Amino acid sequence: MAREPQVLMFGWEFPPVISGGLGVACLGLCKALAPFAKLRMVIPKSVPNFSIPNIELVGLNSFTAEQLREMFRQDQWVDVSSLHYVAGGVHPYMRIGSDEFINEKFYEVFFEEVKPFDLDALYAGDVIRKVMEFARISVQYAMQQDFDVIHSHDWMTFLPGMILKQKTGKPLVLHVHSLEYDRAGEGSRNWVYELERRAMQLADRVIPVSRYTGSVCEKYYGIDPAKITPVHNGVEFVQRTVKKSPMKEKLVIFFGRITMQKGPEYFVEAARVVLAHHPDVKFVMAGSGDLYTPLIEKIADYRMGDKFYFTGFLNKKMLNELLAVADVYCMPSVSEPFGLSAVEAVQYGIPVIMSKTSGAGEVLNSALKIDFWDTHKMAQYIIACLDYPGIRHAVVDQANEDLKSITWENTAKKVMKVYEELLVNSF
């Protein structure tokens, strides 16, 4: 390639504003791509004085009313009236009954008076409207910039990618970290699913974070496998903290969103089996979600309340402190595109038990893999890791070998190859 490609990237989460799995992945990829590409990352919200070398961060919240008026001058207005169908399809909420709702919202957002982007929480309130507001301003901004390729991360940013692809003809890359299929199951056909499907059909290349997710794109979204290029996530090196556990009991942990997708109820059922053999083991469930209260009630019914700790959401520092004293980590996800938490646990020398429907299993050969519903098998693996040091050490030693190839540098090289293939005739 004669020069560095100019990449226009769209993200929804980005540290330090939010450091969920999507944000962590976007940050890791951007830092690793910076030496090879000229990167402009457009996000809903940036923090003043926060910068990353060789990356231009553009937070829509930073545009003043005057800057927006100039950006949206009549002679620079981007007409999107013919593109409303990208917001059509099936309604986003089961109680809203027709396409008209989404089309009406699209017109309302895209043709109302432009205002500074005011975002208090990314996932609270009317998220669909926020996604459309983000698209409207970011498209108008992007049309006044130079770029060679468009790169969008997950459904929240697919809409601006689609519009810019249709307006400019520039190649569109969609990075799939999670799908509506993962969150709602294979029967889901709501608005988000429809947006994901149409975006992937329009894209020049789809980058799922695992072969598992690539197979979901093909099987449940009907995407041509020729345009699917799986690229696994990397992980940043951490200095492992060694701490003495504050309790005498062994500690088995689960962390992540406490939702159907992550399979926390299977963790509870496995714990019940373990406790029948080892009544002195303690379990920690770190995170929050819609199953939080129902699972507390189930544990009370099982009379295991003194064996379980529910921590709620933990920030990175607190999570690292938990990992430093844990003995086993379980990730029984029903559908997990990658599962960065499993790699983070491996970095702390913890044996990992994960479901076969987890993308990280493709790079963690050491992990003990189960069907997510097989709670007895999960319990057997937990007991083996707690009772047999030889098994535990073998799993941990192999995991340290696996870690050597799980780097953001390797991820960035594969993404750069995608750019080069798409731009081969452009430079």
Domains of the chain: 6-234+408-422 (3.40.50.2000), 251-403 (3.40.50.2000)
**CA quadruple 17, 22, 28, 34: dihedral sign:** negative
Q: Can you read off the two tokens belonging to residue 182?
A: 């993962």
N- to C-terminal Cα separation, the chain: 7
pLDDT for the residue 95: 33
d(CA 76, CA 71): 7
Q: What is the pTM of this model?
A: 0.88
pLDDT for the residue 88: 39
Residues 322, 309 contacting (CB under 8 angstroms): no
> pLDDT per position in the chain (427 positions), as tens?
567 999 999 999 988 877 678 888 999 999 999 999 999 999 999 888 888 888 999 999 999 888 888 888 866 667 665 554 444 333 333 333 345 556 667 767 777 778 887 777 777 778 888 898 999 999 999 999 999 999 999 999 999 999 999 999 999 999 999 999 988 877 777 888 989 999 999 999 999 999 999 999 999 999 999 999 999 999 887 777 767 777 788 999 999 889 999 999 999 999 999 999 999 999 999 998 899 999 999 999 999 999 999 999 888 788 888 999 999 999 999 999 999 889 999 999 999 999 999 999 999 998 999 999 999 999 999 999 999 999 999 999 999 899 999 999 999 999 999 999 999 877 6
pLDDT for the residue 76: 65
d(CA 317, CA 24): 14
Q: Can you read off the two tokens belonging to residue 37?
A: 């590409």
E strands, 294-364, are 308-312, 328-331, 352-355
CA 130 to chain centre: 18
Torsion (CA) 110, 113, 118, 122 in degrees, nearest 10: -20
Q: Of 187, 211, 212, which Cα lies nearest the Cα of 333?
A: 212
Tokens 């544990």, located at residue: 299
H or E segment at 42? strand 38-43
Torsion (CA) 174, 179, 180, 186 in degrees, nearest 10: 120
Q: Can you read off the two tokens belonging to residue 97?
A: 């009954």
pLDDT for the residue 101: 56
Sheet of 352-355, strands arranged across: 308-312, 282-286, 251-255, 328-331, 352-355, 368-370
H or E segment at 216? helix 211-221
pLDDT for the residue 303: 94
In degrees and rounded to multiples of 5, residue 56 shows phi and psi of -95, 110
Q: Of 288, 336, 340, 342, which Cα lies nearest the Cα of 314?
A: 288
pLDDT for the residue 236: 84
